[in-house]
Amino acid sequence: MISGSALDGVELAAGVVLAGAILALWRKDLRSLTSVLALQGIALAALAAILAATGGDVGLGVVAGVVLVTKGLVIPGLLARVVRADPGSRETAPLVNVPASLVAAAGLVILSYLVAGQLTALMPDPLTRLAPLGLATVLVGFFVLVTRRKAVSQIVGLLLVDNGVALLAFLLTAGVPLLVELGTSLDVLLVVVVLQVLATTMRARFGHVDLDQLRELHD
Q: Which residues bind other proteins (CB under 8 A)?
A: 115, 118-119, 121-123, 138, 142, 145, 151, 154-155, 158, 161-162, 165, 168-169, 172-173, 176-180, 183-184, 186-187, 190-191, 194-195, 198, 201-202, 205-206, 211, 214, 216-217, 219
Closer by beta carbon to other proteins, 99 or else 124: 124
How far apart are CB 93 and other proteins at their closest, in Å? 19
Please state, in angstroms and rounded to a whole number, the distance separating the CA atoms of residues 124 and 18. Answer: 21
Closer by beta carbon to other proteins, 103 or else 193: 193
Closer by beta carbon to other proteins, 96 or else 202: 202
Closer by beta carbon to other proteins, 39 or else 178: 178
How far apart are CB 126 and other proteins at their closest, in Å? 15
How far apart are CB 112 and other proteins at their closest, in Å? 12
